[in-house]
Amino acid sequence: MLKKCVLTLLSLGVISFGLLGCPGRAHALDLSVITNESTLFFKIVTVQNMGHSLETLWTRKAEALVRKDLESTGYFQILTPPQNIQDMLDHEPLDTTLAKAVGPLGAEGVIGTQFSIGANGVHLHGIVRDPINGSVLLDKIYTTHGHVRLIIHRFIDDVLFQFAGIRGLAESRLAFIGRTHRGYDLFTMDFDGENLRRMTYDNVLAFNPTWSRDKKHIVYVTYLHGEPQIIDYELKTGHRKMLFAYPGLNITPQFSSKGSKLAVALSKGRSSQHTQIYVYSHGSQFLERLTYSHSNNLSPTWDPGGHSLAFVSDRDGHPQLFVMDSDGSNVRRLTFDGNYNVAPAWSPRGDWIAYVCMNDLHRPKICLTSPDGSAHIQITHGTGRDDSPSWSPDGRFLIYSRQIRGHSSLMKIWMDGHGRETVGHFPRSVLTPAWSGP
Amino acid sequence: MKKKKALAGVGIVCVFGIALSACATQSDMSDLRAQMDSLSTRVSKVETHSPGSGGGGSQLADMETRLDNQKLRIARLRDRMERINHRLDQLMNKIETQNAQLSSLGKAGANGPKGPATPIASPPGKGASAPSPAPSAVPGVAVVKGPSQPTESPDMIYHQAYSDYQQGHFDVAIHEFGSLVEQYPDSHLASSAVFWEAQSNYNLQHYHRALALYDAVIHKYVGSPKKATAYYKKGQVYEHLNDRKLAVHNYRRVLELFPLEQQLGDLAKRRLSRLDE
């Protein structure tokens, strides 16, 4: 039972720090070259209310959100035009001539928006023009019956793709286990922290949600029947299906990026309670065991191609990260610094693996390692215990839980460690967040 | 009613005991006590030696604890070995990088008007010292010829190639690993490069090419740490090619040649049992 508890804690990445030895330290590494911090800004001019219709409070708020979304992509620098050009922008339609007028400012794009309410709902007419020749790069009308921020996010995604060729986050969602009055339950929210929804009312400990590729299912671990078991939750109907309920531990499920395979850690009732990694193929409905060491092997995470898995194993005495081929062969160790490296999450771009490492003060922090283990970097610092990193679908951000004085918050951070911010306003503690696919 | 019967029974036993003690002498009593003592000593001895007894249980528990401790020590030793190996790899990489830099500096100096007449250092890789293009390590593996003078260290090429491999750019990785083997055939990374080139081909389902490269890992690089995995992967390739006999042969080679490779051994056993079905 004790081992079971310890393993559960291990999988949550919150093992007792006093038991652990001296931690290592991630080597310093400059990540600025792989993020857009200071290397690639597109200079743009925004034209709000380009149709010059009557503005209301909600249209002003919507325009402000457009600006905020553009800035938060990290790829755009919004220029302030001089007064004479601003006067033109305020009174004339956004056509070829007006777009060309901002060219001398050094702008690489002119982005115009117009909000309106019609019989079909709220409309956003978004236009992107090239200031060099005034040509239209994007011209699209977005409509929603729901919240206006959804169409704003979609428009900004399209703008980002137009300039940087990167798929945005507008359609992505977050799942996490949230503390409730009487226990824990599964929650979801949009990527911007809005639209919080409580999915279950079990009031029992749960953790490690993982999204299916189509975002219609969440597979997670629950203590609903007293033991950790893996359940598939269908978001549309709320229907739940037991996937793994072997005696002992059924923990750390993780879908492959293509969604056809699910990797899990199962102890299958062994007296040792050692968990081994298995892969379940939805196509063949076959459960294949991948690890055979006499130790705990858990927290599998897939590379984007589905050819390799990173996982945690204490086969060398302490929990460390390992990588193996998807058939279980070719195992190699990734982390050598410190005695506690857990909760790996492979970037959707495939170039980095985020994980929980231990800093000099024995506090768990978020670290990155290259998949060959040649480079390591600690990206979160300061107070708090950071845990359970999960990547954004574009591989530029991470979310994780940050615990201070017993309260865990959901945090978002750029992959190079800057721009930390709280996501949403969940009032209680948050465990094991997971970001869906695009 | 039951109580009365029980009391009567106890009374009879007491009377009988008093009568007996009256009949027995003092020496008889002491003899009996001595016999009782020796018997209890024997019983305790037997209990200590019997495997199912509590004493045996505690011994077993002790043994288990010792075994666990030994396992822990072995795990720690393995951990230390892994760390030392890792450090050695890092040092080797550094040495190769510095050698390559020294070599390029030496050649630049030699070409210059006032440069030294002889090269400063000779790099470990043949490719670095011999600018003539070496043939590809494995027949049929296309390698794009770069400039005769290698500009990147084997470590740099290897990491770039591995990074491309991890991002699923297998075609690019094949080219880069091949170029490393061509430029630095004697580098300690060469065997790994051939292995990952094989892996890239395997992932692209170029099975015959992958087989040739796995064979190169096994036969050309005798001390390669990837040898056991190469045998296992060959088994996998033959399974894909529906050659059950050769798949079985290669899985058996894993079991015969690498008895200490527990994980691979178990995987090979699993595949063999699957193929027997």
The answer to whether residue B1 scores a pLDDT higher than 60 is no
A331 CB neighbours in chain B (<8 A) are: 263
Q: What amino acid is encoded at A282 in this protein?
A: H
Burial of B166 (0-12, 13-18, 19+ CB in 10 A): buried
Q: Rounded to whole angstroms, how far apart are CA atoms B212 and A149?
A: 56
Cβ distance of A350 and B167 shorter than 8 Å: yes
pLDDT of B194 > 70? The answer is yes
Per-residue pLDDT at A416: 87
Q: Pick from A373, A272, A351: which is nearest to A314 by CA?
A: A272
Contact (Cβ atoms closer than 8 angstroms) between residue A277 and residue A264: yes
CA-based nearest residue in chain A for residue B69: A317
A371 Cα to chain B: minimum distance (Å)? 7
Nearest C-alpha in A relative to B254: A329
Write out pLDDT tens, residues B226-253.
Answer: 999 999 999 999 999 999 999 999 999 9
pLDDT value, residue A369: 94
Residue B133 pLDDT > 80, yes or no? no
CA-to-CA distance for A102 and A104, rounded, in angstroms? Answer: 6
Model confidence at A391, pLDDT cuts 50, 70, 90, reads: very high
What is the DSSP secondary structure assignment for residue B147, as one 8-state letter?
Answer: -
Shortest Cα distance, chain A CAs vs residue B39, angstroms: 40
Both tokens of B139, joined, read 């027949």
Give me the pLDDT at residue B13, please: 47
Q: List the domains of chain A with CATH numbers.
A: 2-24+171-435 (2.120.10.30), 42-164 (3.40.50.10070)
Contacts of B262 in chain A (CB under 8 A): 292-293
Per this entry, what is the length of chain B? 277
Chain A residues lying within 8 Å of B236, measured CB to CB: 327, 329
A306 interfaces chain B, CB cutoff of 8 Å: no
pLDDT digits 0-9 by tens, A291-344: 998 899 999 999 998 999 999 999 988 999 999 999 999 999 999 988 999 999
Among A111-125, A177-191, A193-207, B94-108, name the one with the lowest average pLDDT: B94-108
C-beta atoms of B263 and A331 within 8 A: yes
Interface contact A34, partner B, CB < 8 A:
no
Q: Are A87 and A23 in contact (CB under 8 A)?
A: no
For residues A252-276, give the mean pLDDT. 89
Query: Number of CB pairs < 8 Å for A and B?
Result: 75
CA atoms of A193 and A188, how far apart (whole Å): 9
Distance from A276 to chain B by nearest Cα, in Å?
Answer: 11
pLDDT digits (tens, 9 = 90+) for A329-354: 999 999 998 899 999 999 998 889 99
- B71: chain A residues, CB-CB within 8 Å: 294
B131 within 8 A of B148, measured Cβ to Cβ? yes
Nearest to A124 by CA among A133, A132, A115: A115
**Which pair of tokens denotes residue B193?**
């490069």
Task: Give the closest of A291, A307, A350 to B203, CB-based.
Answer: A307
Distance between CA atoms of residues B125 and B185, nearest Å: 6
> Using a CB-CB distance cutoff of 8 angstroms, which residues of chain A are in contact with residue B72?
317
Percent of chain B residues topping a pLDDT of 70: 60
pLDDT at A248 over 80: yes
Q: How many C-beta atoms surround the C-beta of residue B147 within 10 A?
A: 7
**Cβ-based contacts of B267 with chain A (< 8 Å):** 292, 327-329
Which pLDDT belongs to residue B56?
61
* Amino acid (one-letter) located at B254: V
Give the pLDDT band (50/70/90) at residue A272.
low
DSSP strand pairing (A250-255 vs A320-325): unpaired
Tokens of A434: 């997971």
Helix (H) or strand (E) holding A266: strand A261-266
Q: Would you call B166 and A371 a contact, using CB atoms and an 8 Å cutoff?
A: yes
Phi, psi of A371 (to 5 degrees): -65, -15
Cβ(A328)–Cβ(A289) below 8 Å: yes
Residue B179 Cα distances to A163, A201, B93, B210, B235, angstroms: 35, 58, 17, 17, 27
* Distance in angstroms (rounded) separating the CA atoms of residues A3 and A84: 72
Q: What angle do CA A172, A173, A177 make, to 5 degrees?
A: 155
- Picking from B78, B258, B267 by the largest number of A CB atoms within 10 A of its own CB, the best residue to mutate is B267
Q: Is the pLDDT of residue B146 over 70?
A: no
